[in-house]
């Protein structure tokens, strides 16, 4: 087994990627075994998290966008479960009460929220969960979000990232409002808080003016874990500067390795080491005991996707480009990159060229798996592939996308994890108390002393 620079054994990190309704495949909710009400059914979220915890999975991640996607075509949207999306933070707060170890990550957008609110919410989740909170920093891939927040259009890519850089600094500054020992809460002397341990941020920047201090004491992890999921040039820079975990969509070991090398190579520029950031590509698994059963499941799920749904989703995933004028059975045309989802558009085009897909086939592939790495095979075959990427320098772990829930989650927990454990690639116990400890990440120093 490989060892890290600090001499520790290197093992895979695993996260489960959940959407609002709990099924990543567009037709996942239609399988007889699926939880079609999982969006609102809090018990189902708890059951899922507890199952993951039994398998020692690092983190439950809930992806999010504030607005339902595709409401301009309600007929098509009505054939999907994508309208079903509760706010992840209350879900994770409830899950926190019924679990002990698993990390709890939510997406929150830097484009439409205010950093002070976000800092307070995530620090509160960190307290509520005893140090297990994580924030997935996104600039937002759903252009409809703009319409809920006083705007007519999604802000341009470059502007979103400029705002995101400043946003993250404000959040981290607010998290450092108090020294760790700022609250003696001494009943005898009557001193609840030490004024000399309080730090005002006094931030005045291009986008934000935030004085501080926070209403929440420094949280158990110091800083909740920072995840970043943009893979464009500015996305990689913000990852290299601040992220603890990077989610990315890569479909070959070669591209995954190039991404890892590129990202980790940038860390030094920001005073960080390659081990400070964990790269976890998405992996959508269609897995069963045998390869033929897995293929059967994949085909069955795909047969349940209406073409109009697939086309509408591809159109949205390509940033809203009009696909109606193109021949369905010709190769995917060269799409001018709309800046709503820069790196995603490039991945769709690369996949369609490499796999020789027509527009129709690309639409179906995108409704099944978006642009994520898709594995269809036996548990052993899937474990072989994950092992090859992990040992081949393409990943520190994986963000597993369950096609359906509980079906794919059960297979992950009861079959894949034991197989990875047998190979020594995955742990058999949680190592620490907080998510940072369980990921082998340092607790960040209190930056307020450096201001």
Q: CA quadruple 388, 391, 393, 398: dihedral positive or negative?
A: positive
Min. distance of Cβ 299 from ligand FMN in angstroms? 25
Angle of helix 88-97 relative to helix 115-128, nearest 10 degrees? 20
Separation CA 413–CA 408 (nearest Å):
9
Q: Is the peptide bond before 213 cis (omega within 30 degrees of 0)?
A: yes
140 binds ligand FMN (CB under 6 A): yes
Helices and strands counted in the chain (H then E)? 15, 11
> 114 or 296: whose CB is closer to ligand FMN?
114
403 binds ligand FMN (CB under 6 A): no
| Under 8 Å between Cβ of 210 and 201 | yes
List 53, 64, 126, 169, residue binding ligand FMN (CB under 6 A): 64
39 binds ligand FMN (CB under 6 A): no
> 298 or 348: whose CB is closer to ligand FMN?
348
> 48 or 214: whose CB is closer to ligand FMN?
48
List 342, 413, 420, 425, residue binding ligand FMN (CB under 6 A): 342
List 123, 263, 332, 344, residue binding ligand FMN (CB under 6 A): 344
| Under 8 Å between Cβ of 23 and 38 | yes
399 binds ligand FMN (CB under 6 A): yes
Task: Give residues 142-201 in contact with ligand FMN (rule: CB under 6 A).
Answer: 142
CA–centroid distance for 372 within its chain: 13
> 214 or 232: whose CB is closer to ligand FMN?
232
- Helix, strand, or coil here: 314? helix
* Tally of CA atoms within 13 A in the half-sphere of 147 that contains its CB: 9
Number of residues near ligand FMN (by CB under 6 A): 23
Site map 293..322 versus ligand FMN, x via CB under 6 A: ------------------------------
**Nearest Cα to 402, choosing from 297, 275, 255?**
297
List 51, 225, 229, 383, residue binding ligand FMN (CB under 6 A): 229
Min. distance of Cβ 190 from ligand FMN in angstroms? 46
| Under 8 Å between Cβ of 23 and 402 | yes
Interface stretch with ligand FMN, choices 208-216, 226-234, 269-277, 312-320 (CB under 6 A): 226-234
Residue nearest to ligand FMN (CB): 230
438 binds ligand FMN (CB under 6 A): no
How much of the chain is helix, strand and coil, in % rounded to 5? 45, 15, 40
Separation CA 26–CA 367 (nearest Å):
5
107 binds ligand FMN (CB under 6 A): yes
Question: What are the residues binding ligand FMN (CB under 6 A)?
Answer: 63-65, 107, 138-142, 229-232, 235, 247-249, 282, 341-344, 399
């Amino acid at each position: 087994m490989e060892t890290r620079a600090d001499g520790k054994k290197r093992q895979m990190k695993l996260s489960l990627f959940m959407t609002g309704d709990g099924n990543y495949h567009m037709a996942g909710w239609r399988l007889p075994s699926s939880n079609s009400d999982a969006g609102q059914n809090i018990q189902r979220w708890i059951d899922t998290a507890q199952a993951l915890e039994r398998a020692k999975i690092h983190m439950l991640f809930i992806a999010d966008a504030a607005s339902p996607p595709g409401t301009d075509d309600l007929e098509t949207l009505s054939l999907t479960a994508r309208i079903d999306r509760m706010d992840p933070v209350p879900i994770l707060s409830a899950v926190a009460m019924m679990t002990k170890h698993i990390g709890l990550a939510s997406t929150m957008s830097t484009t439409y929220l205010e950093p002070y609110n976000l800092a307070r919410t995530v620090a509160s989740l960190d307290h509520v969960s005893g140090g297990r909170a994580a924030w997935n920093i996104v600039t937002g891939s759903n252009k409809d979000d703009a319409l809920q927040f006083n705007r007519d259009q999604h802000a341009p890519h470059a502007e979103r990232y400029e705002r995101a850089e400043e946003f993250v600094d404000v959040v981290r500054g607010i998290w450092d409002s108090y020294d760790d020992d700022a609250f003696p809460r001494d009943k005898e002397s009557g001193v609840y808080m030490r004024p000399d341990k309080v730090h005002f941020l006094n931030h005045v920047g291009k986008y934000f003016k935030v004085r501080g201090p926070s209403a929440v004491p420094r949280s158990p992890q110091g800083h909740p874990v920072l995840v970043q999921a943009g893979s464009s040039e500015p996305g990689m820079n913000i990852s290299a500067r601040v992220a603890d975990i990077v989610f990315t969509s890569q479909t070959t070991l070669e591209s995954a390795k190039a991404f890892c090398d590129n990202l980790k190579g940038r860390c030094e520029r920001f005073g960080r080491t390659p081990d400070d950031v964990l790269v976890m590509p998405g992996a959508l698994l269609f897995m069963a005991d045998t390869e033929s059963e897995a293929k059967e499941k994949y085909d069955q799920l795909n047969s349940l996707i209406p073409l109009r749904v697939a086309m509408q989703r591809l159109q949205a995933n390509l940033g809203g480009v009009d696909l109606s004028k193109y021949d369905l059975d010709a190769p995917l045309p060269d799409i001018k990159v709309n800046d709503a989802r820069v790196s995603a558009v490039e991945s769709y085009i690369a996949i369609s060229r490499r796999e020789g897909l027509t527009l129709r086939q690309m639409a179906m592939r995108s409704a099944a798996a978006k642009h994520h790495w898709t594995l269809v095979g036996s548990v052993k075959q899937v474990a072989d592939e994950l092992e090859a990427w992990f040992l081949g320098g393409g990943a520190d772990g994986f963000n597993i996308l369950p096609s359906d829930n509980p079906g794919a989650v059960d297979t992950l927990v009861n079959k894949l994890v034991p197989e990875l454990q047998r190979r020594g690639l995955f742990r058999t116990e949680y190592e620490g108390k907080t998510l940072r400890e369980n990921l082998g990440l340092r607790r960040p120093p209190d930056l307020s002393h450096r201001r």
